[in-house]
Amino acid sequence: MELSFFDRFADPFLKTANGKGVFLSGIVLGLVAAQQVERGSLSDAPLFKQITFGRMQTRDIRRLLARVPELSKAYRLKNEGRVAQLLGMAGNCFLEGKGEEMGVNGNFTFAVAFTNVWQYYKEIFPKDDVEAPAIEEFEP
């Protein structure tokens, strides 16, 4: 797992453990949501409908992350092991962080990671040969 891409970000929120946890959570939840709808719009994914973009709090993300193992099994994710690795890393970041709330910076960070999930997935796991599913335009 390659996480050095965090170094190129200047955003102070991403320099914190909580910020990294929020970002990785966006990737994890984006991966699950993308695989819930094999074709079509990401906004049709059941998980997408549970996310309150722009109003998320850390507890909301933790609640959603707690369901990922169950969702991985139910939807038979193609990259279940990688999702578990990212989930573990996101959880560690939250546990190491100071528990500060997300606010505007955290919600922005989450949305960026969620919507660009496959770009960041390829940076984290460059040797994986996983193609992004055909998803229509993102409609928040």
Residue 135 has pLDDT above 70, yes or no: no
Return the closest-CA partner of residue 70 out of 93, 41, 47, 45.
Answer: 47
In this predicted model, what pLDDT tens digit does every residue of 40-90 receive, in sequence order?
Answer: 788 899 999 999 999 999 999 999 999 999 999 999 998 899 999 999 999
Which tokens is 5 given?
Answer: 């891409």
Question: Of residues 134 and 85, which shows the higher confidence score?
Answer: 85
Which tokens is 51 given?
Answer: 């996310």
Q: What is the mean pLDDT of residues 17-32?
A: 96
pLDDT classification of 100: cutoffs 50, 70, 90: confident
Q: What is the mean pLDDT of residues 23-43?
A: 91
Question: Of residues 111 and 4, which shows the higher confidence score?
Answer: 111
3-class DSSP state of 67: coil
